[in-house]
Structure 1
């Protein structure tokens, strides 16, 4: 269900009563909320009245985005390339596969399945619905994923401030699954069937997450310089719409830039993984200078509001996510204000364990960050079994962020330790890149030295240690199986 509250956190109330309403988005005039229900877009007038269905399509709706003029909404949908936005065509093909005599999945290229979801020849397209006419059109027809396949991350399309243009990220290489060459494509929305125009063709690496500046003169975006290397440093660049040229603006910032927003035409605010946290940074676009303006452990998402107010979702290992607000005043930030209390009941009922941080000397003489969560009812005079958890990626980080597994196992009496070995983000790109071509070496050395340090803790039972991990962490569990006998149990 969707909830709404006043900007100061007061008067929190249910906005909708559906069991699976998601992706709320205010209209530019603030009078209407668009949201997704049952795979379609709905509009709810905030002045009163029932939600009205805007789209009636079978291919689903995700990531709705209002145009600045409020006349249309862009969204992503998985369609058959021979159908585009023709829903009767899409439904006919889907029925043929689901109801036909042949019950099989067929594919002749990657990516044909993600986890348990089969694509069955579909591609993701950007569709546009006219709010008044309720007519849907495909602005990215053809065989390519447009936007490209993503495992999370910032939105891959954006409107220009005058609503006349849409920037979308897409990889048009012959084999996108083995390439990172996503580019930014501009689509003229005033011209029917306008061909997209590639503005980042000069970079053979990854370009994504377009954001137009408030004055419309430039487009900021994330970029990676190294082709076919998904773990290159994510930097910020801006494209000048008049000159048609791009330049890097994030200067010497040496960690991955995650989400970002224009604060004004001269300033960008962004988040980045840094030593287990996700602080807010301010970037001067002209000079490339940056400064940390706010840190509150893990900031999952943020949005600007008038008067330099920032609303964000924050969580830590010992605290479930809630909505907070802070005012940015020059180079400083006001004291954070907790605005929502959605998880207070759970937090008051359950013993949610916070994490302690330790640093261990690892491979190549570099420090390894380790989070340790002690068990429920912890008694320093007792010894407890240990679980060492290895993260996936491998280019990611364990952060000070609430997650279920860091609570379930301590609740069952285990000490849980989570390390950020070589290959992790948040320690500079050199630390991240050192895992390339060496998935077992430095990382394994790091984790063995972390284990050495953990088993010396007075409350850890060195005879009852286990290890677990998934994705790359699962790879490392298999490496453990062949290279050490220190663990009584290993889960891959």
Structure 2
């Protein structure tokens, strides 16, 4: 990073209480709402956004679309409780606010809300529904991403039983989707006035992430059109000419790695995109920012963001720079890239975590920001260059809640290896005391902890625990070598790093070494399984949606390609040692830690068989263990009552094996 120029971060916040009265609990969490998908109107007067909330009576989650004036004032709901609505976008002429909605018990369709008044009206009526969409620059058409209709989509009457699955693909499963077939995602365009739909792309491959050029002449999109797409990750950028009749798309990038997220410059001459340009294994390659000259076909990596993961790159309205979100050393920043010099200006960073942003035609910025003690709200910049809060999603619910404070620290886990970790202290923390602690390991492993509001960690802190959140080797945000350090060595360098994070807190006097627990979900759970096979220092463990006997996942989860790339074909004797060496199953004889094992019944990301295998070994060895399986749930839980039950299980387990141990101690 070459230059840091922070705007004045004098935030005006609506929910800083004078006196705290309550502690954060599960019931409060379940009543929380989350804002996402912000979209500013072309006239700059309103910001639309999606609101996620839980319906506790019906025991489900819902999404709705709201709108808030940029000049200030209360938010207004744009959709009612008839189905889920999300993905708000404005027509270029400012007349319509469009959404995706499944209202009326139908497939997700594009709906239009006319700003002159009246109820929302459906624009599309595709039996298979719509996955994503984008307005044309003139506003007379909308670009659609649509999956080919299956026989079930075309059924006029419901069948008594579903059809058998007939599979001939190599990549044949996906969590939240199920078995995969050859019904592919393609691009369509619909005329807004006539509602006539025309298909643009065809073939036995998926087309996604379409982006319409500002001059309206071309559509860029992402597709893997290699001979065997299921055997590689080689997505490329493609270009479709919209001025001619039906035409074949033209390939724009020719890399052996993933290219994605194309976005146009205002003059339609360049595309910014992300590229996993690395000689390392594809799964560990950091998506970096690149800019493509359409005419010459030449691409250039932005060197000032080398080995830094970027999200949602967008050219600024002025055409001179580009805005993007980056993951960098425990921060999720909003940065501005000068297109001439590639110099970087950090617009928002440090404790201001940016999850989404949008820019009005006049250059006014809006961002969805959350901080360690404040969940996400919509902010904008005032005339004094201060960020001021527009939304008040959490104001009434959290006004009297005291949250724990967060600190980030750096230390050496072993000579020459610097590691960062976040330490969340309980509300009312007193320096003269040491506290029980929970080592909270993130998933991925290609992810990072940052300063963002972490509801799960705050729930644990409210129970009196210091929550330790390290970014061990394997995390993104610290360069390619750091991310690839665990290749074929899961539970090796990252185990050393997470234990060093605990020792740092113990040396500081914060943590009572006799009262420690370890917890993680997904890869965090997998590393938890390694931890309990390598040390008995923890009084309790909680492992969620984790893997134990890795070879049993091959052909059963969705990661056959990852397993093959990293460890080789499991049926070959020459690869057996690589598979067995990193599989914690073969070290379960060493475990003495009481372990709570949890997961979703229908998880095909990390299938429940892993949790069952871990549980049965621990029970057979008379190690205190409990298995909790959530019916019909996938890799994460979406049923509110299950979420409540999950955290009740957590707290009960920690109370039994950490708090009671504390009383004995």
Is the CA contact 1:59–1:90 (under 8 Å) kept in the aligned structure 2? no
What does residue 332 of structure 2 align with?
A: 278
Aligned equivalents of 2:304 and 2:466: distance in 1?
41
Work out whether 1:220 is the aligned partner of 2:272. yes
Hey, what does 2:212 align to over in structure 1? 159
Partner of 2:409: 358
Query: What's the offset of the Cα at 1:389?
Result: 1.1
SS in 2 for 1:307: coil
Q: Tell me, what secondary structure is at the counterpart of 2:283?
A: coil
Partner of residue 479 from structure 1, selected from 530, 541, 564: 530
Higher mean Cα deviation, 189-198 or 246-255? 246-255
Q: Flag the structure with higher helix content.
A: 2
Which residue in 2 is equivalent to 1:339? 390
Task: Name 1:152's counterpart in structure 2.
Answer: none
* Structure 1 equivalent of residue 135 of structure 2: 66
Report what 2:118 is aligned to.
49
Question: Are 2:222 and 2:238, in contact at CA under 8 Å, matched by a contact in 1?
Answer: yes
Question: Does residue 245 of the first structure (1) align with residue 298 of the second (2)?
Answer: yes
Q: CA RMSD in A?
A: 2.4
1:464 aligns with 2:525: no
Residue 190 of structure 1, CA deviation: 3.1
How do 1:368-447 residues align onto structure 2 when only pairs under 5 Å count? 368-447=419-498
- The answer for the alignment partner of 1:300 in structure 2 is 355
Q: How does 1:198-209 map to 2 (within 5 A)?
A: 198-201=251-254, 203-209=255-261
Q: How many residues align?
A: 470
Aligned to 1:36: 100
Q: Is the 8 A contact 1:317 1:406 kept in 2?
A: no
Other-structure match for 2:153? 91
SS where residue 495 of structure 2 aligns?
helix
Flag the structure with larger Rg. 2
Higher relative contact order (CA 8 A, sep 6+): 2
CA distance in 2, matches of 1:376, 1:293: 30
Tell me: CA distance 1:292–1:413, structure 2 relative to 1, closer, same or farther (3 Å): same
Out of 180, 197, 205, the position equivalent to 2:250 is 197
Q: 2:169 matched to 1:118?
A: no
C-alpha deviation, 1:454, in angstroms: 2.4
Q: Does 1:168 align with 2:221?
A: yes
The verdict on how the C-alpha distance between 1:359 and 1:248 changes in structure 2, with shifts beyond 3 A counting, is closer
How much does 1:306 deviate? 3.5
CA contact (8 A) 2:338 2:344 kept: yes
Equivalent in 172, 175, 181 of residue 234 of structure 2: 181
Where does structure 2 lack aligned partners over 5 or more consecutive residues? 1-63, 103-107, 544-665
1: CA distance, partners of 2:300 / 2:173: 36
Could you tell me whether the CA contact under 8 Å between 2:348 and 2:354 is conserved in 1? no
Structure 1 unaligned runs (5+)?
Answer: 84-88, 148-155
1:5 positional shift: 1.7
Q: Which residue of 2 aligns with 1:150?
A: none
SS in 1 for 2:311: coil
> Does the 8 Å contact 2:468/2:501 carry over to 1?
no
| Post-superposition offset of 1:364 | 4.2
Equivalent residues of 1:249, 1:285 under 8 A apart: no
Distance 1:245 1:365, change over 3 A: closer
Q: Which moved more, 1:176-185 or 1:252-261?
A: 252-261
Q: Output the CA distance in 2 between the equivalents of 1:100 and 1:123.
A: 26
C-alpha distance in 2, partners of 1:346/1:178?
A: 49
1: distance between equivalents of 2:188 and 2:137? Answer: 16
| SS of the residue 1:388 aligns to | strand
- 2:355 is equivalent to residue 291 of structure 1: no
SS for the counterpart of 2:474 is coil
For 1:232 and 1:312, how far apart are their aligned partners in 2?
A: 28
Q: Is the Cα–Cα contact under 8 Å of residues 448 and 477 in structure 2 kept in the other structure?
A: yes
Which residue number in structure 2 is paired with residue 107 of structure 1? 167
TM-aligned CA deviation for residue 90 of structure 1? 6.1
Q: Secondary structure at the match of 2:489?
A: coil
| CA-CA distance at 1:103 after TM superposition | 5.4
Whether the aligned pair in 1 keeps the contact of 2:169 and 2:180 (CA below 8 Å) is: no
- 2:272–2:313 CA contact under 8 A, matched in 1: no
> Following the alignment from structure 1 to structure 2, what is the Cα–Cα distance between the partners of residues 137 and 364?
61
Of 384-393 and 239-248, deviating more is: 239-248
Q: Secondary structure at the match of 1:230?
A: helix
- Cα distance in 2 for residues equivalent to 1:72 and 1:306: 20
